[in-house]
Amino acid sequence: MHPITSFSELTKHLQNTNERKHLVVVNPSDVQTFEAVLRAVDAGLVHATMLGDSKHYDMAFIEAHPMLEFIECKDLKAASERAVAMVKAGDGDILMKGLVNTDVLLKAILSKEHGLVPYGNVVTFIAAMEIPSYPKLLFMSDPAVIPAPNLRQRTAMIEYAVRMTGNFGIARPKIALLHGTEKPNPKLNFMDDYLHIIQEARKGVFGDAIVDGPLDIFLALNPELGSIKQVNTPIQGDADVVIFPGFEAANVFYKTVITFAGAEMGGILFGTDKPVVMTSRSDTAASKFNSIALAGIF
């Protein structure tokens, strides 16, 4: 399999599988989510079940559409629980958040009895970014869910990234553990985590992945400026995945490439039984569509 290097290639790849996934969406009553769902339906990627209050929708349109289904729910808590239950029961491949408070949907997802998280699993967010000035998709973790990851959570992030890149046809993903500088600083509490993860990677715990760090953005993603530092790293400005020390830096990164470098992104929750498209209000329809495509590869 050729590596998938852009969102349009991802869409084509999914179209070639000729298999529609079943998308279950909680309250897609905002224009961006609704448009993204329709685009995914029209592209042949999914058929969709929408849950919410019918008064927010053009029900004639939905009822007439062979690939759309609607389930009336009394409120968004009920819609969230019903959607999670459907996916859990196997009647749904992808769960998606529409205009619903993250807390409400997350509570249903994380419910011990009725939720989507196997006991002990780390739930974290992984995003794919298409940056016009970067030659391939860049995966990153975690800009949204875990503020200050611990070793177990960082390890899970790497495992998930390896699975994700594997599905994209990247046999030997280059995974950069980021930090402000490339100099190991024992005063920073995540440094021990990084060193441990790299040791594990050398033992083959993460398969064929190349894991190195601490690296700064230049060493991880900028072959030209990175090489000036003369640091010996197998990543050499060509990372497939960047793992951030914490949520702050990760969040700054993705919002910066969107704002100043014309990046497009998609992202999903990982660690759940089935992929969850957990977008935010400021995501465009394009990025919500990309997120559905990303979820569709599992």
Q: Which of 23, 51, 176, 258 binds its own copies (CB under 8 A)?
A: 258
Q: Helices 285-296 and 31-42, interaxial angle, to 10°?
A: 50
Q: How far is the CB of 73 from its own copies (least distance, A)?
A: 25
DSSP category for residue 298? -
- CA–CA distance, 70 with 94 (Å, rounded to integer): 16
- Our finding on whether 121 is near its own copies (CB under 8 A) is no
Q: How far is the CB of 222 from its own copies (least distance, A)?
A: 4
- CA–CA distance, 128 with 263 (Å, rounded to integer): 10
- Our finding on whether 16 is near its own copies (CB under 8 A) is no
- Our finding on whether 226 is near its own copies (CB under 8 A) is yes
- Our finding on whether 184 is near its own copies (CB under 8 A) is no
- CA–CA distance, 264 with 61 (Å, rounded to integer): 29
- Our finding on whether 249 is near its own copies (CB under 8 A) is yes
- Our finding on whether 34 is near its own copies (CB under 8 A) is no
Tokens of 255: 């919002």
For residue 135, how far is the Cα from the chain centroid? 19
Q: How far is the CB of 216 from its own copies (least distance, A)?
A: 6
- CA–CA distance, 282 with 231 (Å, rounded to integer): 38
Q: Which of 1, 59, 171, 225 binds its own copies (CB under 8 A)?
A: 225
- Our finding on whether 218 is near its own copies (CB under 8 A) is yes
Nearest to 94 by CA among 86, 106, 104: 86
Q: Which chain residues interact with its own copies by CB under 8 A?
A: 131, 133-134, 143, 147, 178-181, 187-188, 216-218, 221-222, 225-226, 228-229, 244-253, 255-263, 281-282, 284
